[in-house]
Amino acid sequence: MNVSIVGAGSIGVAFAVVFSRSGCRVALCDPDAGRREAAGDELWQCLEGLQAFQLLDEEPAAVAARVGITGSLEGAVRDAELVQECAPERLDLKQELFQRLAQAAPAGAILASSSSALPVSQYAPQGDARRRCLVAHPGNPPYLIPVIELVPAPFTSPDVLQRAAVLYRACGLAPVHVRKEVEGFVFNRLQGAVLREAYCLVRDQVADVEDIDTVMRSGLGLRWSFMGPFETVDLNTRGGIVSHAAKMGPAYARMGAERGQNDPWTPELVAAVEAQRRAQLPLEQWGERVRWRDEMLMGLRRLRKAEPDATA
Ligand X SMILES: O=C(O)[C@@H](O)C(=O)[C@H](O)[C@@H](O)CO
Q: Least distance from C-beta 58 to ligand NAI, angstroms?
A: 25
Alpha-carbon distance of 90 to 64, in angstroms, equals 29
Q: Which position among 45, 72, 191, 218 is part of the footprint of ligand X (CB under 6 A)?
A: 191
Comparison of 184 and 240: residue with beta carbon closer to ligand NAI: 184
Alpha-carbon distance of 200 to 129, in angstroms, equals 43
Comparison of 132 and 137: residue with beta carbon closer to ligand NAI: 137
Alpha-carbon distance of 56 to 22, in angstroms, equals 10
Distances, alpha carbon 150 to alpha carbons 192, 211, 243, in Å: 19, 34, 32
Alpha-carbon distance of 115 to 94, in angstroms, equals 9
Q: Least distance from C-beta 213 to ligand X, angstroms?
A: 15
Comparison of 91 and 220: residue with beta carbon closer to ligand NAI: 91
Comparison of 125 and 142: residue with beta carbon closer to ligand X: 142
User: Out of ligand NAI, ligand X, none, which partner does residue 9 contact, by CB within 5 to 8 A per kind?
Assistant: ligand NAI
187-221 as b/e: b if 16+ CB within 10 A: bbeeeeeeeeebeebeeeeeeeeeebeeeeeeeee
Q: Which position among 12, 60, 125, 240 is part of the footprint of ligand NAI (CB under 6 A)?
A: 12
Q: Which position among 22, 84, 115, 156 is part of the footprint of ligand NAI (CB under 6 A)?
A: 115
Question: What length does the chain have?
Answer: 312
Q: Which position among 140, 191, 225, 261 is part of the footprint of ligand NAI (CB under 6 A)?
A: 140
Q: How far is CA 29 from the centre of its chain?
A: 22
Q: Which position among 119, 125, 138, 152 is part of the footprint of ligand NAI (CB under 6 A)?
A: 138
* Angle at 66 (CA atoms; ends 168, 129), nearest 5 degrees: 45
Q: How many CB atoms lie within 10 A of CB 225?
A: 10
Comparison of 187 and 273: residue with beta carbon closer to ligand NAI: 187
**Interface residues for ligand NAI in 26-55 (CB under 6 A)?**
30-32, 35
**Interface residues for ligand X in 97-156 (CB under 6 A)?**
116, 139-140
State how beta strands 2-6 and 25-29 pair.
parallel
Comparison of 43 and 73: residue with beta carbon closer to ligand NAI: 73
Q: How many CB atoms lie within 10 A of CB 258?
A: 11
Residues that bind ligand NAI (CB under 6 A): 6-12, 30-32, 35, 73, 86-89, 93, 97, 114-116, 137-138, 140
Residues that bind ligand X (CB under 6 A): 116, 139-140, 187-188, 191
